Amino acid sequence: MIKFFTLPPITIPYPYVLINLNHPQLKYIYKYYRNIKEVIIDSGIEIFRNPNIKDYPPSHERKLVRCYHTIRNFVKNVYVTCPDYCDDYHPKSLWLSDNYTNIERTVDNVLYYTSKYDFNWLIPIQGHYKKPNSVFKCLKYYDKYGIIDKFNYFAIGTLCIEPDIRIIIKTISNVRSILEKDKKLHVFGLKIKALKYVSHLIDSFDSMAWTRPVDSSIRKYFPDRKNRSVKGTSKINSIKMREIYFLKYLERLKVYGVRLNED
């Protein structure tokens, strides 16, 4: 079985929670910590959607450490994603040179953070935009520096906005061909339509896509909404809408043949 991490509606307890470091919704942790089995703190990599931002702010490290310790006071199993550098929002935007790309920058961050802090690290695997074989370069560095031997939970960070199923399958297959089965593999932002092809290769994934309508059946509940997102809604029916969107998304995951570890 694989685990699906997300941040559910505040009214629904759920065991596998995703916390965004830029907008940590800790009130969910405080409310449901007795129901939560595991938490993943992501690195807040979406700041690089802004092409003018080239690095994490100076306060990022301090914020990450504080968030980890705060959540660990409530939940035992907390995984922290090492701050990484993507290439999919704006290809080559985060490269410092042809020899020092987003991959090398990610590897250097992993070496820095894992040597400085004794946390439960989720090690990000980065690559170049729409180049599935580029993940081998990242994994080669990790093998060279002993990261693969030392850690057991890795995460693919190159597919968050990738729509091409072939690229998704190839990327995940490439990573799994290097990581033995005793290494856990997570995929950030995995598309629901790819699950039936890769669920046997991964141990967990995350998504906030449930905030958008997963199918047209939601129209009968809210015909006036025109299938809009419920992210950030604050009107009278927003709580009920978020609940329905979330539960519908879980139903669709099962339709795609995914057995969710929700016990």
For the residues 82-92, what does the mean pLDDT come to?
97
Residues 198, 76: Cα–Cα separation, whole Å:
29
- H/E stretch holding 122 reads strand 121-125
Residue 233: predicted pLDDT? 52
pLDDT tens, residue by residue, 98-153: 999 999 999 999 999 999 999 999 999 999 999 999 999 999 999 999 999 999 99
Q: Candidates 3.20.20.105, 3.20.20.10, 3.30.420.40, 3.40.190.10; correct CATH number of 3-207?
A: 3.20.20.105
Q: Is 125 helix (H, G, I), strand (E, B) or coil?
A: strand
Residue 228: predicted pLDDT? 75
Residue 222 reports pLDDT greater than 80: no
Residue 235 reports pLDDT greater than 60: no
Concatenate the DSSP letters of all residues of 141-189 into one string: HHHHTTHHHH--EEEE-S-TT---HHHHHHHHHHHHHHS-TTSEEEETT
Q: How many CB atoms lie within 10 A of CB 153?
A: 17
Residues 118, 30: Cα–Cα separation, whole Å:
24
Single pTM value for the model: 0.93
- Within the chain, which residue ranges are assigned CATH 3.20.20.105? 3-207
For the residues 73-89, what does the mean pLDDT come to?
97
Residue 128: predicted pLDDT? 98
Residues 20, 23: Cα–Cα separation, whole Å:
5
With beta carbons less than 8 A apart as the criterion, state whether 17 and 40 touch.
Answer: yes
Exposure string of 12-31, with b = 16+ CB inside 10 Å and e = fewer, is eebbbbbbbbeebeeebbee
pLDDT tens, residue by residue, 169-219: 999 999 999 999 899 999 999 999 999 899 999 999 999 999 888 877 777
% of the chain at pLDDT higher than 70: 92
